[in-house]
Amino acid sequence: MTRKIIRPKTNKKNLIIRRLSLYLRTLDHLKKKGVEVISSSHLEKIEGITQSLVRRDLAEFGTFGVRGVGYNVPLLREHISQILGFDQNWRVVLIGAGGFSSVLIHSESFQKRNLKIVQIFDKSSDYIGKSIEGIPIQDMAQLEQELDSRHVDLAIIAVPPPEVQHTINRLGHIGIRGALYFASRPVDVPENMVVLNMDITVELAVLTYQLR
């Protein structure tokens, strides 16, 4: 052994969880179309994930299918939804009231997954006092006074990149347990917080690399 760095080992099941959430969105779609039963080999065609892996992913969490038949669409949908935690309501605080936030708040993904935006904060006087979809925009300076981690489960951070780290620190201090941010930079994650990042430059890199 050369090193002894302790690292909060990146949650083992993440790959499975990501795939489950692909299955879930397809099941949403199939259910809407009225499809009753689906087999792993049919999912393979839709998702581009081998039938073996589909069955293995599901078997990780239980026995949801019927041999010789397949999986019941509405039932499997419920099961996966529950595994991912979407059976319960999630109260979300939006940090940053710019264009991105108003896109999010109108997105169907939020309702579909039981996420509800309960508070919005921004530091700009252009926004403070106004409201989006009936939710008043509060002053970022009052975050510690106005945000109570007992009433909010996670944060969506849509502030300019230089402010992300500080925002996360403040949220961590208040006791918010999870956050998602979009800036193209790494952050230090406070203890006891789960922080995820969606970085469009990463996807663009994959795209340009492949097209090069």
Partner DNA sequence: TAGATTGTTAATCGATTAACAATC
Residues that bind DNA (CB under 7 A): 1-3, 12, 15-16, 38-41, 49-53, 55-56, 58-59, 63-71
Q: Which is nearer to DNA, 80 or 143 (CB)?
A: 80
Per partner kind, with CB cut-offs from 5 to 8 A, the member of DNA, its own copies, none near residue 89 is none
Q: How far is the CB of 118 from DNA (least distance, A)?
A: 35
Per partner kind, with CB cut-offs from 5 to 8 A, the member of its own copies, DNA, none near residue 65 is DNA
Is residue 186 a contact residue for its own copies (CB under 8 A)?
Answer: yes
Per partner kind, with CB cut-offs from 5 to 8 A, the member of its own copies, DNA, none near residue 56 is DNA
Q: Which is nearer to its own copies, 33 or 145 (CB)?
A: 33
Q: What distance lies between CA 100 and its chain's CA centroid?
A: 15
Strands ordered across the beta sheet of 65-66: 37-38, 70-72, 65-66
Q: How many CA atoms lie within 13 A of 169 on its CB side?
A: 7
Is residue 61 a contact residue for its own copies (CB under 8 A)?
Answer: no
User: CB within 8 A of 208, min separation 6: which ones?
Assistant: none
Q: Which is nearer to its own copies, 50 or 131 (CB)?
A: 50
Q: What distance lies between CA 17 and its chain's CA centroid?
A: 11
Residue in 37, 39, 51, 146 binding its own copies, rule: CB under 8 A: 51
Q: Is 12 exposed, middle or buried (0-12, 13-18, 19+ CB in 10 A)?
A: exposed
Is residue 44 a contact residue for its own copies (CB under 8 A)?
Answer: yes
User: CB within 8 A of 210, min separation 6: which ones?
Assistant: none
Fill in the amino acid letter for 95.
I
